[in-house]
Amino acid sequence: MKQFVLNIILIIVSVCTYGQTYITVYTKFGNPIEAMIRTEMTNTEKEDALEWVSTNFPNATILSEPTALYNCHSYAWNMQDGGPTCWINGNANLSVYWSSREYYSTTTASNAVKIHYYNGDHSAITSPTVSGKYLSKWGSLPLMLHDPDYCPYSPGKNYYSKRTFFNNILECSISSRGVYVGEIANYYITNNIITPYGYTLDYIWSIVDNKEGENVIGTVATVTENGDNANISFNKSGLYTITCDVYTSMGEYISSYWIEGVVE
Amino acid sequence: MKNITFMVVFLSFILASCNKDASIDKVDETCEFKENVPYSFELVTKPSVWATFKSLKEMQDACQIPENWLDKISTKNLIETCMNYPLYGMYMAYNNEMDGIKEIMCNFNGFQELKKRGDAAEKLLDYYDNVSVATKSNGGNLDILNPIHIGYLELILASDEIFPISKDKNTQRLEKLMKENLNEKIKHSEIFSINTVRKSLLIGAKIKLKTISLSTRDSVLLNQFVERGGIVSDPFMYTEISNIVK
């Protein structure tokens, strides 16, 4: 009986010290992702894990100690984009990152910045410093620099890069990358609109947050209109549709010009 | 000129034959069955050989037990061979370690052979009985496994692939051994974190799910625990699971 009570006390004390908690992290465009704050390994467990991986994957480079605090998906999709240290499980939870209105879309291996090993439930990023190699966190094992197939996962992969602008005639002065939060960019119509004789043209600008579907001028977006162009800045990252509707001064609709802009 | 050409071709033929004989001898040496010992991975795991493998598949292929060993090796030695499998630590690379252990077992023919053995469960228990998570200071006659290795063994037991958990004496024995190891781990929390403790709880959860009648709540709790490879949303759920398991 005494031993039984002692065991229960030991378990209660230990689990109060151990354990993990679910939290929510967010994608670049504000979509929620379920994540966990996990309990760290002991030094003995870390030493054993380090010895195992260094012996069995000698051609990969170990970049950190083993840790249970974060995993491959969190490293590649969350922490690389400024998210907190945490553990993210895969499957439906993870696919939010490359859903149709999110920051990443599918691409080829040569253009990829992020990789998903769909059979191995694993994620990686392309190394920014070593061409042809990936960086990935191997579960509770260390963060590793490795050849794409030199890792403990089946080889089937999908590749992702940052989504490009969706553009229909409205151009942006910053076209080689997404616009940063707080940065002013100029959006302009390149077409030469023929103005009906005796009239002038009115340009009506609107900006919609693609996730919420709401008009964000004055809240998220600050707009300085200059007729057929406007200087616009955003105070929040996301995917927005910027539209310029053109009317005659008599209120007759002529045409619309729009662009989907990535703000990061 | 013709004579020189003939001699070159003839000598090449002789050399090729010698090399072929040498390679056959080498294959014989590596594949020759040896009684009373586990299969050794030494020839493929020595650094000069292992470092030549460029992918997981190459490593897995190199580690397969030769066919002429599979039906001759004793179950006891087969279990030791499975425990010595070089890629045993791979389960730690998986987000759900139950998926990781299944990946290991699916890709190593030692486990496929072990599944066929009628005495696999009993011999695996003998192995589990003969190891300890005790710290080195405890001494004793038991083989001490490091945390990763004991985790590997307990995941194999929890996987239900080799050891069919049911209402029988083997399962009762497994439960007893699991509780002993669980208590040892909890006593030495400086060595064993929840990451190792939960593998014992996984065995316990599987046993309870299959051998006793649980309340709906307990059944849901334990099923979720098993599905998620021992990871829960609330630390205090480990207390509940421990209470059910013990």
- Chain B residues in contact with A77 by the CB 8 A cut-off are none
Mean pLDDT by runs of 10 across the 264 residues of chain A is: 48 46 84 90 95 97 97 96 91 82 84 94 96 97 98 94 68 90 94 73 93 91 94 94 88 84 90
Q: How far apart are the first and last CA of chain B?
A: 88
Q: What is the mean pLDDT of chain B?
A: 85
Distance from CA of B16 to the nearest CA of A (A): 33
pLDDT at B197 over 70: yes
Q: Would you say residue B39 lies in a domain?
A: no
Nearest partner of A27 among A71, A76, A70, judged by Cα: A76
- CB-CB under 8 Å, A20 with B239: no
Q: Looking at this predicted complex, what is its ipTM?
A: 0.84
Record the pTM: 0.76
- Confidence (pLDDT) at A168: 54
C-alpha to C-alpha distance for B82 and A15, rounded to whole angstroms:
32
Kindly report the number of other CB atoms within 10 A of residue A88's CB atom. 25
Best mutation target among A52, A53, A133, A146 (most B Cβ atoms within 10 Å) is A52
C-alpha to C-alpha distance for B102 and B99, rounded to whole angstroms:
5
Give yes or no for A252 touching B (CB within 8 A). no
Report helix, strand or coil for B194: helix
In chain A, the residue whose alpha carbon lies closest to the alpha carbon of B194 is A18
- CB pairs A-B closer than 8 Å: 155
Give yes or no for B24 touching A (CB within 8 A). no
- Confidence (pLDDT) at B113: 96
pLDDT at B214 over 60: yes
Lowest mean pLDDT among A152-156, B96-100, B153-157, B232-236: B232-236
Region B103-113: mean pLDDT is 97
Q: Torsions phi, psi of A125, nearest 5?
A: -120, 155
Distance from CA of A111 to the nearest CA of B (A): 23
Q: Would you say residue B85 lies in a domain?
A: yes
How many domains does the structure of chain B reveal?
Answer: 1
Which domains does chain A carry?
13-162 (no CATH), 166-263 (2.60.40.10)
Instruction: State pLDDT tens for residues B56-92.
Output: 999 999 999 999 999 899 999 999 999 999 999 999 9
Q: Would you say residue B11 lies in a domain?
A: no
Instruction: State pLDDT tens for residues B25-52.
Output: 333 445 788 888 999 999 999 999 999 9
User: Are A33 and A27 contacting, i.e. CB atoms less than 8 angstroms apart?
Assistant: yes
In chain A, the residue whose alpha carbon lies closest to the alpha carbon of B242 is A11
User: Are A189 and A228 contacting, i.e. CB atoms less than 8 angstroms apart?
Assistant: yes
Q: Which residues contact A3 (CB under 8 A, 6 or more apart)?
A: none
Give me the domain span that covers residue B69: 44-245
- CB-CB under 8 Å, B95 with A73: yes
Best mutation target among A12, A20, A24 (most B Cβ atoms within 10 Å) is A20
Q: Would you say residue B13 lies in a domain?
A: no
Q: Would you say residue B4 lies in a domain?
A: no
Q: Would you say residue B14 lies in a domain?
A: no
Q: Would you say residue B29 lies in a domain?
A: no
Partner residue facing B95 (CB), from A16, A139, A147 = A139
Chain centroid to CA B153: how far? Answer: 6
Nearest partner of A39 among B197, B234, B195, B236, judged by Cα: B195
- Confidence (pLDDT) at A142: 98
- Confidence (pLDDT) at A159: 94
User: Are B225 and B232 contacting, i.e. CB atoms less than 8 angstroms apart?
Assistant: yes
- Confidence (pLDDT) at B22: 38
- Confidence (pLDDT) at B94: 96
Q: What percent of chain B has pLDDT over 70?
A: 83
C-alpha to C-alpha distance for A196 and B223, rounded to whole angstroms:
72
Q: Would you say residue B91 lies in a domain?
A: yes
Q: How long, in residues, is chain B?
A: 246
- CB-CB under 8 Å, B191 with A89: no
